[in-house]
Amino acid sequence: MRTLKIGVVILLLLNVTGCWSSKVELDELTFVYGLFIDVGKEAGTVEITINSPLPNRLNSSSQPASGGGDGNSYSTVSKTADTIADAMLLVQKDLTRQLSLSQLKIIVLGKAYAEQGIGELLLWIRREPALPLGTYVMASPGSAKEMNTLTPIYEQLPSDVLMSFGTEKYMFSTTIKDCLFAEASGVGFAINNLSFGKKEETTKEGKPQYWAGIQGAMLFQNEKMKGILKLKEGRALAWAAGKLKLSVYSVTWDGGESAASVVFVSTKASKKVKLTDKGPVFTVKLKGKASVIYLRDPKKRNLEEISNIITEKLSDKITANLTEAIRLSQEAGADVLQFGMLLEWNDPKLWKEVRERWDNYYTHEADIKVATDFRIVDFGTAK
């Protein structure tokens, strides 16, 4: 019995020793946090820019966190080649450490690159096992590379700022997994379309500072950008897709004399399809619980009456925004709410008939309704 116990202990010890020949120390790696992809200056080429932290400066209180000056806490490298894989190899040649994509947080697509198609990117993602499936994908209104120059006020790296737009669910939180799943299913997807600009303030050294935000959504179908939505339509579409976490809306009535602002503390969405003799009828329903954070009511109505007015105005406003967003997505031929998959689940035979022409069917034949169910849960100190 004692011999058996010793043998088990020896086997366990052998199991935890690992394979020393394949070990790579952390200080031999360069972790890529952000990847920015643009069309190259020469036809048929692609330019990539990587954003990676400098570990020897991240913990130094004497060094600034911004990307300007000699005390950068992060590094950027750009290379142009025929393919993304070739460009990554060129980046690796200029580094003293081995590139690692295991910590990639964000991929940003330049507008021109998105317009020409992201098929190569999706193919590279499928063949790159180190990429985390939870990496967020967003778009730049111009060059993706310029997004890397934003000033991270509260974060260490520009990629951390952009990643927060996904983790906090300000609008869409699309990941590379979502993109691959949509393409494999024959439906579309949407990503945040970012904004970019120069701030009035400058750094202590007098250098300009840049900010980024979200100005809408970019729609994709069949590996290509099909259209762009503005903020209010993009926000409604994100809600319908189940991506929106919190949202603030303002409404007015009595000719503008009365007004209210609410924050939705709970947002939900559901989709269903009803099969009729004239074809499938899709319905998107938005549900939400809202808290009133501002109220102006000169007529001093009771809370029940005010609640009914606010929910009615909210329903009208948000229904109009979502209806317009769906209309624009149909016009673009981008099924970003993925009604195609809903149809496949409910009527596989019909889906098989229309799948090959689903883009055209979605644009010209899909019947889509919008419904809402909102409730005011509290008025705070607004009344």
Picking from 8-12, 73-77, 342-346, which range would have the lowest pLDDT averaged per residue? 8-12
* 126-137 pLDDT per residue, tens: 998 889 999 999
Element of type H or E holding 254? none
Share of the chain above pLDDT 70, in %: 83
The whole-number average pLDDT for the span 290-311 is 94
d(CA 308, CA 251): 13
Q: Residue 276 CB: number of other CB atoms within 10 A?
A: 9
The whole-number average pLDDT for the span 190-219 is 80
Q: How confident is residue 301, by pLDDT bands cut at 50, 70 and 90?
A: very high
Which three-class secondary structure state does DSSP give residue 142?
Answer: coil
Residue 124 burial by Cβ neighbours in a 10 Å radius (0-12, 13-18, 19+) = middle
What per-residue confidence (pLDDT) applies to 168? Answer: 85
The whole-number average pLDDT for the span 188-217 is 80
Q: How confident is residue 20, by pLDDT bands cut at 50, 70 and 90?
A: very low
Picking from 56-70, 100-114, 348-362, which range would have the lowest pLDDT averaged per residue? 56-70
What per-residue confidence (pLDDT) applies to 370? Answer: 97
Picking from 127-136, 203-212, 234-243, which range would have the lowest pLDDT averaged per residue? 203-212
What per-residue confidence (pLDDT) applies to 183? Answer: 92
Residue 280 burial by Cβ neighbours in a 10 Å radius (0-12, 13-18, 19+) = buried
300 or 21, which is more confident? 300
d(CA 144, CA 15): 46
Q: How confident is residue 165, by pLDDT bands cut at 50, 70 and 90?
A: confident
d(CA 35, CA 18): 32
d(CA 179, CA 122): 8
- Per-residue pLDDT at 264 exceeds 90: yes
Q: Which amino acid is at 199?
A: K
What per-residue confidence (pLDDT) applies to 70? Answer: 47
Q: What is the DSSP string of 42-111?
A: STT-EEEEEEEE-HHHHT-TTS-SSSSSTT-SEEEEEEEESSHHHHHHHHHHT-SSEEE-TT--EEEE-H
Residue 47: how many CA atoms within 13 Å on its side-chain side? 17
The whole-number average pLDDT for the span 205-222 is 84
- Per-residue pLDDT at 180 exceeds 80: yes
What per-residue confidence (pLDDT) applies to 63? Answer: 43
Mean pLDDT for the chain overall: 86
The whole-number average pLDDT for the span 240-264 is 93
C-beta separation of 298 from 287 below 8 A:
no
Q: Helices in the chain by DSSP H: which ranges?
A: 2-16, 55-58, 84-93, 111-116, 119-127, 158-167, 176-185, 231-240, 303-332, 339-346, 348-354, 358-364
- Per-residue pLDDT at 163 exceeds 80: yes
* 34-86 pLDDT per residue, tens: 999 999 999 999 999 998 877 655 554 444 444 444 456 677 889 999 999 99
Picking from 29-33, 55-59, 122-126, 161-165, which range would have the lowest pLDDT averaged per residue? 55-59
